[in-house]
Structure 1
Amino acid sequence: MTKSYDVAIVGGGIVGLAHAWSAVKAGQTVALFERHARATGASIRNFGFITVTGQQRGDFHALAMRTRNIWLEVAEQAGIAIEQRGLYISARYAESEDVLRAFLYTEMGEDCRLLRPADAPFLAKGQRAVLHSPYDIRVESRTAIPKLSGWLAERADLFYGVSVTGVDSGRLETSMGDIRAERIIVCPGDDLSGLFADRIKAHNVSRCQLQMLRLTDPGFRLPGAVMSDLSLIRYLGYADLPEAEALKTRLQTEHAEHLANGVHLIVVQSADGSLVVGDSHHYHDAPEPFTSEAVDQLILDEYRAVLGAPPPVIERWSGAYATSPDQLFLIDRPVPDVRLVVVTCGAGASTAFGIAERTFQSF
């Protein structure tokens, strides 16, 4: 007899897990299918940084704030440590300081503060100002995702190493046989050629490849995550402000190579003191399996300007996520009881729980 569930989810990354969490919390019976033995994609390869500050103004910023608040509940129940709280954005240029001041006058800047460099002694000399936000939090993604999966496994059926080869109304074809479900949610991450590939293509979705580093303990503790000037023209909450135009012009002149490789700086710290540092952005339908030492050095150059001499690199890796110039995420409806959900901007950890709520509201 074919087993039946209230909700079936395809994909075991953070977007799929967030939908499973929402369904379990609503008292639904849930099955989740992940083709790999464990999550191996962007959900564990990125920073584990739940970024609220700087997300696009309006609805997307609200989604990030909602997701951050749910993360706090998830972390407490699943035994996931919040490694860091808060964000510091350093500004070396007058144009950067203008952007930060303008940001403070928006509703997004509520409870944020502009600090003097002396108030952030962990930063290198040469900073003009520092924005502090209390909202952003960070988990260690390599352990947080397995812990969340473990919590869900006690309350739902999670099938790892099981492929889903077909989805239709009320039914999934899997490598372990057919499964019935009243509602089906497909969360493919950056798998653009599998289920509903034609619909994904119609949304102009491709892939972004990034490079990441882990550095040894620098001998000090960061009070929060750190970003810099380059982030102010990448994150739309800042970049869409009129004051950002002058900064874009300056950075295109003085940091052309960084911008050509999509480099900006995020630094977060793990419980053992090591630093996760990144990242770069290159756009391809099929990302290369190789990483570039020159790109790593561009990332470390920005680290040096913001935090001083970098400690030794102990780990390097690459990741990929789905991206689109047309939307930041999509909730598509292939058939009435099926939803296709893709975060298309690299902010899965920052928005997945809020998006999951929207998905269930859409049925």
Structure 2
Amino acid sequence: MPASYDPASYDPASYDVAIVGAGIVGLAHALAAAREGRSVIVLDRDTQANGASIRNFGFVTVSGQEQGAVWRRARRSRDIWLEVAGPAGIAIEQRGLVMIAQRPEARAVCEAFLETEMAEDCAWHDPAAAGALLGAIRPAQLEGVLTSAVDIRVESRTAIPKLAAWLAEQHGVAFQRGVAVHRVEHGQLETTAGIVRAAEIIVCPGDDLTTLFPEAMAGITRCKLQMLRLAAPGYTLPAAIMSDLSLVRYLGYAALPAAQALRHRLDVEQPDHLTHGIHLIVTQSADGSLVVGDSHHYAATPDPFADDRVDALILDEFRAVFGHVPPVLARWTGTYASAASHSRVTSPLPGVRVVTVTSGTGASTAFALAEETLASMSLPKGTET
């Protein structure tokens, strides 16, 4: 805690830590603080989970994360998910990743990846073995598959509410929902429900770039993505599925020199997919239905409308990997904060941190990032990571 913190100066209704935002980043910080024995309150302007944290795959992606600190955060966050999932009643819906290499250039990227430290618990399977692994999935082109045993998947729509409920019931975290925070000062927050006092404050604004500390959000924009749910295909996926387009998007692969040749080929063969930031992720829910995406479009204020042409491109890649496309059951858009870096942590005031994951990897990295934030709360004003 800050050196100036005096417990006697706070009344019994005060908290050690107040967190603004009940998405996965806010909940991760609540867990980290509660595990340190701190009293915690979480405030959110929505009455239920509604943002990026539930509009995604629930895919806790380790393989393919940017080499170095981000990859290590993903490994640690995956471990924490496994620690809390059972006690919180959160089902691990899928385990592992199958990266389907459709082109020789994609195979080269996978082989280069296997030479890095990030390839722990990963393996390559040639076409014959890959075909047996894929079962009913029949890609139009197949050079082999890269498998990873470290990735996991939860159902975001239920996992986030269950995590919050468990934090309240088992860790004593207080929640105020439907309450907007309109001002933060050292030691207190002004909200639509009155004043909340806390020794330390952590603001997790997601893609709200203007309400609190807009100066801390400079250079961050918003990314809109389109996603779909398809009817159950009649078989069980061996794991979450990705394809060649993912190899030029996820930095753990894309930053490898071998990825340049694949990108050049995709520039020729699938320019529209690259223009719309499309790559394929397919996960499967307990009822057998498939969550499929996604695309990436950037703007300070993205429009709320889904473009059918973009969905058609996503399904085009799905067809190339799976063959038959099951009926579409639902379509939606999501948004998240986006910048060149993985995340941004700033200290605009003593005892205050503003924490934003700026890469769409909140589910994959937030738990570890939260531990780092709590450990840094004695850092001086102006620190950024």
Is the TM-score greater than 0.5? yes
TM superposition shift of 1:111: 2.0
Q: Out of 246, 256, 260, which is 2:271 matched to?
A: 256
Answering whether residue 303 of structure 2 is matched by residue 303 of structure 1, we say no
Aligned to 2:189: 172
Answering whether residue 138 of structure 2 is matched by residue 121 of structure 1, we say no
Aligned to 2:177: 160
Letter in 2 for 1:290: F
Letter in 1 for 2:76: R
Q: Out of 134, 141, 158, which is 2:149 matched to?
A: 134
Aligned to 1:274: 289
Aligned to 1:184: 201
Aligned to 1:200: 217
TM superposition shift of 1:289: 1.1
Q: What count of residue pairs does the alignment treat as equivalent?
A: 360
Find the residue that maps to 1:81 and give its secondary structure: coil
TM superposition shift of 1:121: 2.4
Unmatched segments (≥5 aa) in structure 1: none
Cα distance between partner residues in 1 of 2:215 and 2:224: 22
Cα distance between partner residues in 2 of 1:243 and 1:283: 27
TM superposition shift of 1:2: 8.2
Aligned to 2:342: 328
> What do you get for the CA RMSD once the two structures are aligned?
1.0
Scaled by the length of structure 1, the TM-score of the pair is: 0.98
Letter in 1 for 2:13: K
Letter in 2 for 1:123: I
Aligned to 1:27: 37
Find the residue that maps to 2:53 and give its secondary structure: helix
Does the 8 Å CA contact 1:22/1:357 hold for their aligned counterparts?
Answer: yes
Answering whether residue 243 of structure 2 is matched by residue 233 of structure 1, we say no
Find the residue that maps to 1:96 and give its secondary structure: helix
Q: Out of 71, 74, 79, which is 2:84 matched to?
A: 74
Cα distance between partner residues in 2 of 1:63 and 1:91: 26
Cα distance between partner residues in 2 of 1:165 and 1:122: 53
Answering whether residue 374 of structure 2 is matched by residue 360 of structure 1, we say yes
Aligned to 1:64: 74
Cα distance between partner residues in 2 of 1:136 and 1:123: 20
Cα distance between partner residues in 2 of 1:143 and 1:336: 36
Does the 8 Å CA contact 1:206/1:285 hold for their aligned counterparts?
Answer: yes
Aligned to 2:301: 286
Cα distance between partner residues in 1 of 2:174 and 2:262: 50
Aligned to 1:219: 234
Find the residue that maps to 2:54 and give its secondary structure: helix
Within a 5 Å distance, the mapping from 1:7-22 to structure 2 comes to 7-22=17-32
Aligned-residue identity in percent:
56
Unmatched segments (≥5 aa) in structure 2: 1-10, 378-385
Instruction: After the TM superposition, list the runs of 4 or more consecutive aligned residues in structure 1 that deviate by more than 4 angstroms.
Output: none
Cα distance between partner residues in 1 of 2:345 and 2:276: 30
